[in-house]
Amino acid sequence: MTAHYPFALPPLPYARDALEPHLDARTVSIHHDRHFAAYIDRLNRLLAPYEAYHSWPLPKLLLCREELPDAIRLGVCRNAGGVYNHDLYFATLTPASSPGPAPVLEEALIRDFGSMEDFRAALHAAALDVFGSGYAWLCVDGRGRLSVVKTANQDTPLPLYPLLCSDLWEHAYYLRYQYRKGEYFDNWYALVNWQAVVERLARGLGQTDVAPGP
């Protein structure tokens, strides 16, 4: 992801049909090339006249929203969130056959959720509990504690550092799964790029803008 304005659409790290049969090529194409691209375009258009914010990275646009001019605050929050969330969503998927979590992540998940199955169940329950559009997340706090959280619309879990997100907007699954959100979740979960999640965990533990745990 480009660090700051002008933001550019990151290319998909796999072919548009590479996630079949779990996620169909048409859904992936529309999701990435239309929805994700639209958040990038709108964010750039909003920021274009405001040079003072051209050097701000995405997390700063989201965390320091009170410093933004009233005229663009809401639009920047919505669209910077859309960019941040979709960047993470596509970067943490991989064609099925990804090995499971590396020991360092598996141990942390078992420590904080009880077992891998309990973690999966917690994320699944959060995903099904998202009312309307939003996301279910796995996050790490400044003390290395993992948690599952939900957000609405294009809100992010920042300053908790997100490791993984399930996009529960209907555009993420409706063409193939319609009302079968649980089936979409199971198929999405089969595509999780655990190597990318482990790399994010290492980065998250080194972040200074991560919220301290309780």
Binding site for Mn ion (CB under 5 A): 167, 169, 172
Closest contact distance (angstroms) between CB of 73 and Mn ion is 22
Q: Cβ 4 to Mn ion, closest distance in Å?
A: 22
Nearer to Mn ion, 127 or 172 (CB): 172
Shortest reach from residue 46's CB to Mn ion, in Å = 19
DSSP string, the chain: --SSSSP-PPPPSS-TTTTTTTS-HHHHHIIIIIIIHHHHHHHHHHHTT-GGGTT--HHHHHHTGGGS-HHHHHHHHHHHHHHHHHHHHHHTB-SS------HHHHHHHHHHHSSHHHHHHHHHHHHHH--SSEEEEEEE-TTS-EEEEEEETT---TTSEEEEEEE-SGGGTHHHHTT-HHHHHHHHHTTB-HHHHHHHHHHHHT-SSSPPP-
Q: For Mn ion, which is the closer residue by CB, 50 or 153?
A: 153
| Chain residue at closest Cβ approach to Mn ion | 167
**Which sign does the torsion angle of CA 19, 21, 26, 28 carry?**
negative
Pick between residue 85 and residue 210 the one whose CB is nearest to Mn ion. 85
Q: Which two tokens stand for residue 55?
A: 């050097």
Min dist. Cβ of residue 170 to Mn ion (A): 9
Give the residue with the Cβ less far from Mn ion, 137 or 169.
Answer: 169
**Min CB(90)–Mn ion separation in Å:** 9
Query: Least distance from C-beta 89 to Mn ion, angstroms?
Result: 7
Q: Cβ(135)–Cβ(193) under 8 Å?
A: no
Query: Whose Cβ is closer to Mn ion: residue 24's or residue 167's?
Result: 167
Residue 161 or residue 169: which is nearer to Mn ion going by CB? Answer: 169
Chain position carrying tokens 């669209």: 79
